[in-house]
Amino acid sequence: MLPAAKHNKLIHLFIGAMLLLGIQPAFSQQTPPVLDKQPISDSMLPTLVTKVATYTATIDHTDFLIRRKFNITPISLNMPEIERKIKGFKARLEKNGSHMNLRSLNSGVIMLTETSDDLSAYQSILSNYSRELTQSNTEVKKILRDPILNAEVNDSVIQEQLEDIRTEGRSLDSLQQKVINRVNLLRNKVSVNLLQATDIISDMRYLTISLKLGIWKQEEAPLFTATQQEYKNNLAEITGNALVRSGKIIMIYLGEKWDVITLGLLVFICIFSWTWLNMHRINKQENKDLVLGPIHFLRRNVLIGCGMALFTYLPYFFANPPMSLLHALELFRLLLLAYLIYPYLAKQSKIIWLIICLLWLYYAMDDLLLESALGERWGLFFSGIIMAAVAIKITNPRQPHFSGIPESPATKTLAIFTLTQAILSIFFNLAGRVTLAKIFGVSAIQCLMLGISLKVFCSMVMEAIYLQSEAYHDSRISAFIDFKTLQHRFVNILWILASTVWTISLARNLTLYDTVIQLCTHFFEATRTIGSMVFTFESVAIFIFIIWLSSVISGFISFFFGSEKLHTTGKRSRLGSMMLLIRLAIWILGFFIAVAAAGIPIDKLSIMIGALGVGIGFGLQNIVNNLVSGVILAFERPIQVGDLIEVGGKMGVVKEIGVRSSKINNNEGADIIVPNGDLLSQHLINWTMQDRNKQVEYTIGIPYNSDIEKVRGIIRETLAGEEKIMAAPVPSITVKQFGERTIDLKISFWVFDLSEAGATRSNAMIKIYEKLTAAGIQLPVSPWPLAEQNVQPDTEAKNMD
């Protein structure tokens, strides 16, 4: 028997060791012992009732969270597949690590990175679960240790509630302990697998760096001296293994990307539905052949055209997919592209296109091979020669490659770039640098094929926009859309996007994608200082991008719903003031979002605003005055788009109300830019503020022997027959004066639209003249002035001299 003190010491050491190992002693998990019941006074009953209600709600809520929120079953079901995948990569790396090429290493890193991201997410979820469960269990234990639960109460209902709290609390405490143990066990398993995946990724990246460092060294014998004995397997065996492995990689990778695939398919369905409905609407028109004249690819087949677009943009929905998946998607794109462009190819270009397709198939297959073979090297050599010949043929400007569709200005540049890479591939293959030969060969054909695909894709985007404008050319929205203007604006954006996509694809083909991403990340995220100001190019780029995006959104709103064409309709519209307010709101909101996204501190922003205030005080008064005047114009609305105004001696129709200035179109077709401050500070005449009615008046002279009332009746009858003359106010016909030879009558009437005042006045005068002449009333002809009649011939001669 050990002494009592020594026995207690051993027990304490044992408990401390288990706690250090993360193991809780069995007796530490037991529910606190039940204390003897103590009677409670009536004055404590309110406190007891409050605690009973609080404890009951806490236990019920905690029990609900455990059974609903802390569900680790999905993670448990996914872990066996993740463990199998990690073990497979580890075994493959240990067995074939020294023989893996850049493509296979890159695919392994991509897939293991996806797995590591999932494990990191699992680890974060389980850590939160463990922390929340521990805190919850502490609260439950605290409730069970409250002595008031063991109080003796005369009220049987309260006593029963106390018993329920004790029973449910013990059950909940036991359940919490079990769940915590399960969560911690799964958490340890996730941590172990995450550590293994990170180690494998690190090893693969090390091998990748080693291969890239030795990529310029001679790997194999020169092509003309190489023999079959130097290679372990033949080309057929290597190809079969590569196809089987690529299929497995695609299935494993896509198994975790259903969200991306679903998003891509939803975009495809929306684009196809939109394009098909527009095409269907145009096919119902009588002049459909004339309207569909500029359409080429979508006219062939809308479904195939949209499918080709799907396989063009879908690869870029994935962050960094393996080459096996990229080549599979590109194969579908190639088949659909061939169907679309084949009828538009010239006779000789059809043969060239067939050769390009065969070259792409060979290089795509070669890119999947894990090992090198003698047959592969000779295939690379002859394929490089054929591709160089095709590139030279494409650069010939005298022979058109397409019939019925315009040539791309980038064709020659793309062909020269392809030719350069093909020559490099041939040279490196001859020198025994097989990796470089494959990289440049694959890059050459991929860049050429992607360039053709992007050209067709951009053309189909413009065709889809054209279909929209023609299908709804009579609609209210299309009245604001000028397809030629939109095409001019949008084509530059398409070229920028196409160039960006092509550059990303080039970096992937040259195995420089990760390097470029790392360099860009370091460039944008590195901290830089100017004096006391600390910033990153990332924050600057975010600020500029959001401001640019705000301007683009503001410009598109102004273009699609603005007032570019309202002045030709002769109608007054409040749309201009509304668009001004919306554009101001977009600019202000964009500025504050840019400041928040860029992480600019508020104190720095106040300094900038203070400096801006000083600049306003010194030299920006006029600009700020015009900006504030624009806001006042938007709210007060003294003028609207379509109004006929007169300001500063200039008269015209309001074409646009801008933030700083407004545009007025005069009768001569010129646009007058008027600062908004002048519209408020000068006398402004708005001819159409209430309506577009205008009074027209002119004078005619009748002979003295005419019956005035008869003439007035004829004129009144003639004016009443004019549809464009308002019946109210009634046209006025009054005697203006008695002239030397005629009685002058003043005729005044109102027209509905001031833009038609001149034509209405002319038509009325002609009809009055015809009616008066038919009634036998001849309007007198004014004689020449007496001074001119008395001029003598000799005087005229002198004047001529």
Backbone angles phi and psi of 639, in degrees to 5: -130, 155
Write the pLDDT tens digit of every residue in 338-376. Answer: 999 998 888 888 999 999 999 999 999 988 887 788 888
Q: What would the mean pLDDT of 37-52 be, rounded to a whole number?
A: 66
Q: What is the pLDDT of residue 8?
A: 45
Whether the predicted pLDDT of 381 surpasses 90: yes
Question: Strand runs (DSSP E) across 617-678, as ranges?
Answer: 644-647, 650-657, 661-665, 671-675
Q: What is the pLDDT of residue 513?
A: 81
How far, in Å, CA of 45 to CA of 42, rounded? 5
Task: Kindly list the distances between the CA atom of residue 122 and the CA atoms of 86, 188, 241, in Å, as whole numbers in the listed order.
Answer: 16, 11, 34
Per the prediction, the chain carries an average pLDDT of 78
Q: What would the mean pLDDT of 547-566 be, rounded to a whole number?
A: 65
Q: Which positions ≥6 away from 12 have C-beta within 8 Å?
A: none
Task: Kindly list the distances between the CA atom of residue 621 and the CA atoms of 588, 628, 677, in Å, as whole numbers in the listed order.
Answer: 20, 10, 11
More confident residue, 299 or 665: 299
Question: What are the structure tokens assigned to 330, written together?
Answer: 């590109």
Q: What is the pLDDT of residue 576?
A: 57
- The closest alpha carbon to 661, from 539, 746, 576, belongs to 576
Pairing outcome for strands 38-39 and 671-675: unpaired
Backbone angles phi and psi of 318, in degrees to 5: -90, 145
More confident residue, 207 or 382: 382
- The closest alpha carbon to 436, from 211, 599, 700, 651, belongs to 211
pTM of the model: 0.64
Task: Kindly list the distances between the CA atom of residue 638 and the CA atoms of 569, 649, 653, 665, in Å, as whole numbers in the listed order.
Answer: 20, 18, 14, 18
Range from 114-128, 572-586, 698-712, 729-743 carrying the lowest mean pLDDT: 572-586
pLDDT more than 70, % of the chain: 80
Whether the predicted pLDDT of 763 surpasses 70: yes
Q: What is the pLDDT of residue 475?
A: 56
Whether 378 and 231 have beta carbons less than 8 Å apart is answered as: no
Question: Quick one: DSSP state of residue 641?
Answer: B
Q: How many CB atoms lie within 10 A of CB 432?
A: 18
Question: What are the structure tokens assigned to 321, written together?
Answer: 């997919």
Q: Which helix (H) or strand (E) holds 655?
A: strand 650-657
Task: Kindly list the distances between the CA atom of residue 180 and the CA atoms of 18, 56, 672, in Å, as whole numbers in the listed order.
Answer: 17, 22, 76
Pairing outcome for strands 527-530 and 151-152: unpaired
How far, in Å, CA of 759 to CA of 724, rounded? 10
Residues β-bridged to residue 748: 697, 732
Question: What are the structure tokens assigned to 789, written together?
Answer: 């009649």
Q: Which positions ≥6 away from 114 have C-beta within 8 Å?
A: 253, 256
Q: Which positions ≥6 away from 407 have C-beta within 8 Å?
A: 400, 401
- The closest alpha carbon to 176, from 324, 24, 279, belongs to 24
Cis ω for the linkage preceding 294 (within 30 of 0) = no
Q: What is the pLDDT of residue 13?
A: 40
Whether the predicted pLDDT of 197 surpasses 60: yes
How far, in Å, CA of 108 to CA of 114, rounded? 10
Backbone angles phi and psi of 222, in degrees to 5: -55, 150
Whether the predicted pLDDT of 150 surpasses 50: yes
Write the pLDDT tens digit of every residue in 698-725. Answer: 888 888 888 888 888 888 888 888 888 8
Write the pLDDT tens digit of every residue in 13-26. Answer: 444 444 334 444 43
Whether 623 and 663 have beta carbons less than 8 Å apart is answered as: no
Whether 462 and 490 have beta carbons less than 8 Å apart is answered as: yes
pLDDT band (50, 70, 90) for residue 378:
very high
Write the pLDDT tens digit of every residue in 243-284. Answer: 888 888 888 888 878 888 999 999 999 999 999 998 998 888
Q: Which positions ≥6 away from 177 have C-beta within 8 Å?
A: 29, 137
Q: What is the pLDDT of residue 789?
A: 41
Q: What is the pLDDT of residue 265?
A: 92
Q: What would the mean pLDDT of 49-75 be, rounded to a whole number?
A: 77
Whether the predicted pLDDT of 445 surpasses 90: yes
The radius of gyration of the chain from alpha carbons, rounded to an integer in Å, stands at 43
DSSP string covering 300-342: H-HHHHHHHHHHHHGGGGSSS--HHHHHHHHHHHHHHHHHHHG
Q: Is 221 helix (H, G, I), strand (E, B) or coil?
A: coil
More confident residue, 522 or 423: 423
Q: Which positions ≥6 away from 371 have C-beta within 8 Å?
A: 99, 101, 231, 232, 233, 238
Whether 472 and 431 have beta carbons less than 8 Å apart is answered as: no
How far, in Å, CA of 96 to CA of 370, rounded? 10
C-alpha 283, offset from chain centre: 31
How far, in Å, CA of 187 to CA of 126, rounded? 6
How far, in Å, CA of 734 to CA of 654, rounded? 36
Question: What are the structure tokens assigned to 387, written together?
Answer: 């591709």
Whether the predicted pLDDT of 156 surpasses 50: yes
Range from 151-165, 613-627, 680-694, 739-753 carrying the lowest mean pLDDT: 613-627
Q: What is the pLDDT of residue 426?
A: 94
Region label for 637, one of left (φ > 0), alpha (ψ between -120 and 50) or beta (otherwise): left
Q: Is 184 helix (H, G, I), strand (E, B) or coil?
A: helix
- State the first-to-last Cα distance of the chain, in angstroms, to the nearest integer: 156
Question: What are the structure tokens assigned to 239, written together?
Answer: 């190809």
Whether 193 and 82 have beta carbons less than 8 Å apart is answered as: yes
pLDDT band (50, 70, 90) for residue 787:
very low
pLDDT band (50, 70, 90) for residue 159:
confident
Range from 42-56, 155-169, 496-510 carrying the lowest mean pLDDT: 42-56
Whether the predicted pLDDT of 90 surpasses 70: yes
Q: What would the mean pLDDT of 148-161 be, rounded to a whole number?
A: 72
Task: Kindly list the distances between the CA atom of residue 337 and the CA atoms of 300, 308, 460, 501, 768, in Å, as whole numbers in the listed order.
Answer: 11, 6, 12, 18, 70
Hunting for tokens 């065709």 — which residue is that?
463
Whether the predicted pLDDT of 224 surpasses 90: no
Q: Which helix (H) or strand (E) holds 672?
A: strand 671-675
Question: What are the structure tokens assigned to 349, written together?
Answer: 């270009």
Q: Is 371 helix (H, G, I), strand (E, B) or coil?
A: coil
Q: Which helix (H) or strand (E) holds 701?
A: strand 694-702
Whether the predicted pLDDT of 28 surpasses 70: no
pLDDT band (50, 70, 90) for residue 606:
low
Q: Helices 347-367 and 434-471, interaxial angle, to 10°?
A: 130
70-85 burial by CB neighbour count: b if 16+ within 10 A, else e?
Answer: bebeebeeebeebeeb
Whether 58 and 139 have beta carbons less than 8 Å apart is answered as: yes
Q: What is the pLDDT of residue 338?
A: 93
pLDDT more than 90, % of the chain: 14
Range from 205-209, 499-503, 791-795 carrying the lowest mean pLDDT: 791-795
